[in-house]
Amino acid sequence: SQQGEEDPQALSIQEGENATMNCSYKTSINNLQWYRQNSGRGLVHLILIRSNEREKHSGRLRVTLDTSKKSSSLLITASRAADTASYFCACGRSNDYKLSFGAGTTVTVRA
Amino acid sequence: DGGITQSPKYLFRKEGQNVTLSCEQNLNHDAMYWYRQDPGQGLRLIYYSQIVNDFQKGDIAEGYSVSREKKESFPLTVTSAQKNPTAFYLCASTLAGGPNEQFFGPGTRLTVL
């Protein structure tokens, strides 16, 4: 069952601008992960944030997690054309090998 | 190079046929997964396997079958019982003790003619 839900469904920005997308979930999690998918390709893992963490950075990516609101956000700073892709959040529960993926946010970066 | 491979990249099936999608990994991962992705949608779990010779149904297992005879391999068969098999199929693997980062293959696009 899909637990993560991304918002917005689609986002179009100018190169150099920041892109923010959100993920909401329903039940307790062990961690929340963000993935990127270029058109017609497999998913690539971007970042994992654990339930006891509030913020994590990786290069131009910043992820926040608010367990009280059951939500997470992914910020891409200084976007580039190569950031054009779909971004998915995935929820991982304790003692569970499975991830629950959301429907994704499609980001288009205009040159 | 360590990684996860899927073949073929494109597959065409006639109605009533069974087809098998290949997934191989050399990452020494214990767990492997099959997902289905429809246009504009997220990933839905078909089957997963935590160890060799064991696998569990995911959310949409009907019309699909799998085997896990080797740690490196997790083939998926799309049977004729799957009424709407046209989709993008993704295989993934991960280390034991989940929920860990999953590594994905490049995908197989299956089209029913």
pLDDT tens readout for residues A88-102: 999 999 888 899 999
- Kindly determine whether residue B58 and residue A98, on different chains, have CB atoms separated by under 8 Å: yes
Q: Specify the pLDDT at position B71.
A: 97
What tokens appear for A45 in the block? 């893992």
Are B7 and B108 contacting, i.e. CB atoms less than 8 angstroms apart?
yes
CA distance A10 to chain B (A): 10
Question: Among all chains, which residue has been given the structure tokens 């990994």?
Answer: B25
- Kindly determine whether residue B104 and residue A42, on different chains, have CB atoms separated by under 8 Å: yes
One-letter amino acid at B24 equals E
Q: Specify the pLDDT at position B1.
A: 60
The closest of B18, B9, B11, B3 to B66, measured between CA atoms, is B18
What tokens appear for B108 in the block? 């197989």
A26-71: pLDDT as tens digits? 999 999 999 999 999 999 999 999 999 999 999 999 999 999 999 9
Looking at the DSSP assignment, which residues form a beta bridge with residue A57? A62
Asked if B3 is an interface residue toward chain A (Cβ–Cβ < 8 A), one would say: no
Asked if B47 is an interface residue toward chain A (Cβ–Cβ < 8 A), one would say: no
Are A101 and B43 contacting, i.e. CB atoms less than 8 angstroms apart?
yes
Residues of B in contact with A40 (CB under 8 A): 88, 107, 109
Query: Which residue of A7, A43, A51, A89 is the best one to mutate when testing the B interface, meaning the one whose CB has the most B CBs within 10 A?
Result: A43
Question: Among all chains, which residue has been given the structure tokens 């199929």?
Answer: B89
Query: If you average pLDDT over residues B72-89, what whole number do you get?
Result: 95
Looking at the DSSP assignment, which residues form a beta bridge with residue A90? A33, A101
d(CA A104, CA A6): 6
Q: Specify the pLDDT at position A1.
A: 45
Given the DSSP bridges, would you call strands B10-13 and B108-112 parallel, antiparallel or unpaired? parallel
Per the rule left: phi > 0, alpha: psi between -120 and 50, beta: everything else, B81 is alpha
d(CA A76, CA A98): 26
Q: What are phi and psi of A82, to 5 degrees?
A: -70, -10
Q: Does the pLDDT at position A19 exceed 90?
A: yes
Asked if A61 is an interface residue toward chain B (Cβ–Cβ < 8 A), one would say: no
Q: Does the pLDDT at position B2 exceed 80?
A: no
Question: Quick one: pLDDT band at residue A5, thresholds 50, 70, 90?
Answer: confident
- Kindly determine whether residue A31 and residue B31, on different chains, have CB atoms separated by under 8 Å: no
Residues of B in contact with A90 (CB under 8 A): 102
Question: Quick one: pLDDT band at residue B41, thresholds 50, 70, 90?
Answer: confident
Query: If you average pLDDT over residues B65-85, what whole number do you get?
Result: 96
Are A103 and A1 contacting, i.e. CB atoms less than 8 angstroms apart?
no
